[in-house]
Amino acid sequence: MKQSGKPVSRSGRFKEGPAADVAKFTESISYDRRLWQHDIVGSLAHAKMLQKIGILTKQELKEITSGLHQIGTQIHDGEFEWREDLEDVHMNIEHALTQIAPAGAKLHTGRSRNDQVALDMRLWMRDEMGEIAEEIRQLQRALVELGAKNEKVIIPGYTHLQRGQPVYFAHHLLAYVEMLERDFGRLQDAFQRVNVSPLGSGALAGSTLPLNRKFTAEFLEFKNADGEFALTRNSMDAVSDRDYIVEFCAFAALTAVHLSRLAEDLISWSSSEFDFVRLSDAYTTGSSLMPQKKNPDIAELTRGKSARVVGNLTSLLVLLKGLPMTYNRDLQEDKERLFDTVDTLRPCLRINAAMLRTAKVNAKRCKEAASDPLLLATDLADWLVLQGIPFRDAHHIVGEVVAVAEKRSIPIDKLSLKELKRIHPVFSADAKKVFHLETALAKRTMIGAPGTKPVSQELKRWMKLLAES
């Protein structure tokens, strides 16, 4: 639909139109048009309520409803002409409505763009948050499946990127499943504060009209955790704070940081130096010059894109920090930060899940790395503790064992009992049994440990939980 090109009257207050550059500078239509569906749904709810309280006749409501549906179809079909001089999605739709239905001029009764934009954002976020929750679940499933497929694979666990102690590969992956679970929880928690209706707050001070806020909240399904309708409780707060967006972006930043760390592991693991994981051709790229290269660009971009998500959170916090009550136009700047956050995070979640589903573990290489007996030096110290030696002394004794082996250029498990006894008389043949990798992992039985039993139990627990959710 082509909207009439003549400038919309700027209210009786203005004698002159805006200066030439103003529309370009102040518009948000280039990006907030994506709120159109939610803007229409919000307007339908508001109109229904206006009819209920006697401001609109049934006929007027019918006109408005059908006009809004018509506009929805035009937008959907790409036939709607968005006008920059109409500033934003709210004005564009309302203006188009008044052209179709004269009653459209009554739609804005008791409403301001200030509560309208807060409403649209909350409606839009609810939908996106639902999708993101499912995308987190998919990534968790991909991690658990890769772990389960390689349940017996052991790798070194690292601190300071130096080999530390052996762990099951699945245990390492499950660490990310745990991180994502907390992210999921933060998302659910933030959802409670998004899912509150600001409609009826007006510009900042509500309305003298008997608006029925409960009706619109129920119509739009704004509910608290107990399923009761949820309304913002202060009109000034409702139009001016964006903490629900900040909270969501904080969730997103942390999730992106977790993804970035996973990406870093995948980058290391797919290098020739580690060679623990082979990413499939479909999720790697070649080099324009070096023919042998297979680069982990997806993981690298995931790591890189996390910077934007963190930056968006920072921008929002800075945007809000000096604002006087209540609505200030600065707030329009929240949208691109939020949209970019969602548009960055969602593909990262999806593509990483897909990449993990096609990744292969190089079990042979993992075994070689995990067979380094130094990984069990701590187990040797634990053995000494069980012989009654204080841990500090045991730590020192094993340090000597390592030094002797290093000096002789042999692995520590190849030192003879005689050599061990020379370091400390308590050593017996039994001590050398600690170097059996599978036994060492079977001994780790506590909840949270990387042992054979707890890891297998955790894999089962996650598979069940993720199948049910």
- Give the total of residues touching ligand ARG (CB under 6 A): 11
Instruction: Give least dist CB 108 to ligand ARG, A.
Output: 12
Whose Cβ is closer to ligand ARG: residue 56's or residue 320's?
320
User: What's the rounded Cα separation, in Å, for the pair 54 and 56?
Assistant: 6
Give the CA distances from residue 37 to residues 1, 142, 408, in Å, rounded to whole numbers and listed in that order.
17, 32, 73
User: What's the rounded Cα separation, in Å, for the pair 37 and 45?
Assistant: 12
Using the rule CB under 6 A, is 122 a contact of ligand ARG? no
Using the rule CB under 6 A, is 51 a contact of ligand ARG? no
The amino acid that residue 245 corresponds to is I
Using the rule CB under 6 A, is 113 a contact of ligand ARG? yes
Burial of 44 by CB count in 10 Å (0-12 exposed, 13-18 middle, 19+ buried)?
buried
Nearest CA among 97, 49, 68, 41 for reference residue 209: 49
Whose Cβ is closer to ligand ARG: residue 117's or residue 155's?
117
Using the rule CB under 6 A, is 365 a contact of ligand ARG? no
Using the rule CB under 6 A, is 326 a contact of ligand ARG? no
> Judged by CB under 6 A, which stretch of 62-70, 271-279, 329-337, 439-447 contacts ligand ARG?
329-337
Among 332, 352, 362, 452, binds ligand ARG (CB under 6 A): 332
Q: Which residues ranging from 368 to 427 are in contact with ligand ARG (CB under 6 A)? A: none
Instruction: Give least dist CB 131 to ligand ARG, A.
Output: 22
Among 43, 51, 114, 240, binds ligand ARG (CB under 6 A): 114
Instruction: Give least dist CB 123 to ligand ARG, A.
Output: 14
For 223, phi then psi, to 5°, come to -135, 155
For 155, phi then psi, to 5°, come to -130, 165
Give the CA distances from residue 302 to residues 1, 28, 265, 267, 313, in Å, rounded to whole numbers and listed in that order.
40, 28, 12, 11, 17
Instruction: Give least dist CB 141 to ligand ARG, A.
Output: 37
Using the rule CB under 6 A, is 329 a contact of ligand ARG? yes
Among 60, 85, 88, 145, binds ligand ARG (CB under 6 A): 88
Helix (H) or strand (E) holding 180: helix 169-194
Per DSSP, the residues of 45-71 read HHHHHHHHTTSS-HHHHHHHHHHHHHH
Per DSSP, the residues of 355-396 read HHHH-EE-HHHHHHHHT-GGGGHHHHHHHHHHTT--HHHHHH
> Judged by CB under 6 A, which stretch of 62-70, 109-117, 279-287, 345-353 contacts ligand ARG?
109-117
Catalytic status, residue 207: no
User: What's the rounded Cα separation, in Å, for the pair 124 and 111?
Assistant: 19
Using the rule CB under 6 A, is 331 a contact of ligand ARG? yes
Whose Cβ is closer to ligand ARG: residue 11's or residue 162's?
11
Catalytic status, residue 287: yes
Query: What residues make contact with ligand ARG under the rule CB under 6 A?
Result: 28, 32, 88, 113-114, 117, 327, 329, 331-332, 335
Question: Would you name the residues annotated as active-site residues?
Answer: 160, 287
